[in-house]
Amino acid sequence: MTTYVQTRPSREMRPFPVRAVAILLVLMAIGLVTAIVRYANGIGAISNLSDGRAWGLWISFDLYCGVALAAGGFTLAATVYIFRRKKYYPIVRGAILTAFLGYLMVIAALLVDLGQPWRIWHMIIYWNPHSPLFEVGWCVLLYTLVLALEFSPNVFERFNMQVPLRWIRAIQIPLVIAGIVLSTLHQSSLGSVLLMMPDKIHPLWFTPILPGLFFLSAIAVGPAMVIFESYLSSKAFGHRLDPEIPAGLGRALVWLLALYLLVKLADLLVAGEFGLIFSSALFSVLFLVEVLGGVVAPLILFALPAVRASERGLFWSAVLVVLGLILNRFNVSLLALEGRPGVSYFPHPLEFAISIAIVAAGVLAYVLATRYLPVLQHEAEQPA
């Protein structure tokens, strides 16, 4: 059986990052004050949202990008526990932590964005199975629970609670499968939400297979996020990762990005809309930057052995994938989605303050969790 080398320094050795945490707390405090103003005076008091642009930064960034960027959790869990590529075991816990925090961040953003967030539970009692958003809501709810359970061994191990630990391990595989099913639905359902507006989304992005494209791009960005964050956390916390792990993810990314690109372009060809890539003025620019910069370029880079042999090469190629995904989600849910006539929108500074505060809270939680819980340590447990 494979053995895992303990390379991480013990937690007592690392000084507490006082300055970084102080900055994060300040950002969170700004967001909190903003949120209080919002609850007292309405969403209009802190945002540039209007009847003409009812969804803005929070939906495009916190929901659309947030969910996609959390895809590392289920792709890695599938790789390790279902496809049993055990060499990725050391990073699966980090990926699940990121996904868990990502979903908590999505919920936090919804609590600001929803007009009456105290009614968020209404979707449990009032059903509309025709609504893609109903599917999204249920997926957020259930997958967050699954992620909490998938993450829980970190807590149980830390406090040496053997009984719940045994229970969780007993249902580990069903749990992982439930997570994969829910993620498949959830990633694609965010695309289904946009299917309701066939006439309002620019044809370069609108397609009946949008849910499929959302799913494919999510499983491509999952490994890229894992490369991205394991590079950062190894730099920040000084633990070393077997270089074969990110290199292997890079190799997988070549295929995932190629598949996504192929389907995306084939769809435009079949729809007879290929020419739009060059004839849509500003939309052409957005599309080309998204596809060339966020898909084609990293695809070529990851295919080069020299890039895969370099930590930084892998990191920057992964950054391209992540940025490309973010641009894609902004394009399809905001920039290429028509607002009401005569309405323009740019997020209010306080909208940014909310999004930044939520990211800050996520980073802080990540720092604390990796510091006090055995997330990055690869202890006794092996994939069942």
Residue 188 as a binder of other proteins (CB under 8 A): the answer is yes
Distance CA 284, CA 319 (A): 22
Residue 238 as a binder of other proteins (CB under 8 A): the answer is no
Q: Which is nearer to other proteins, 44 or 349 (CB)?
A: 44
Q: Who's near 2: CB < 8 A, 6+ residues apart? A: 86, 87, 89
Is residue 105 a contact partner of residue 62, using CB atoms and an 8 Å limit?
yes
Name the phi and psi angles at 53, rounded to 5.
Answer: -140, 85
Nearest to 314 by CA among 228, 378, 383: 228
Site for other proteins in 84-113 (CB under 8 A): 84-88, 113
Site for other proteins in 108-147 (CB under 8 A): 113-117, 119-120, 122-123, 126-135, 137
Angle at 316 between CA 310 and CA 321, to 5 degrees: 125
- What burial class does residue 64 get, using C-beta atoms within 10 Å of its C-beta: 0-12 exposed, 13-18 middle, 19+ buried? buried
Residue 340 as a binder of other proteins (CB under 8 A): the answer is yes
Residue 73 as a binder of other proteins (CB under 8 A): the answer is no
Number of residues that bind other proteins (CB under 8 A): 74
Q: Which of 52, 243, 305, 349 binds other proteins (CB under 8 A)?
A: 52
3-state secondary structure of 84: coil
Site for other proteins in 260-319 (CB under 8 A): none
Residue 169 as a binder of other proteins (CB under 8 A): the answer is no
Q: Which is nearer to other proteins, 176 or 268 (CB)?
A: 176
Q: Which of 44, 238, 243, 305 binds other proteins (CB under 8 A)?
A: 44
Q: What's the Rg (C-alpha) of the chain? A: 21
Q: Which is nearer to other proteins, 14 or 87 (CB)?
A: 87
Q: Which of 5, 13, 18, 40 binds other proteins (CB under 8 A)?
A: 40
Taking the complex as a whole, the smallest distance from the CB of residue 179 to other proteins amounts, in Å, to: 10
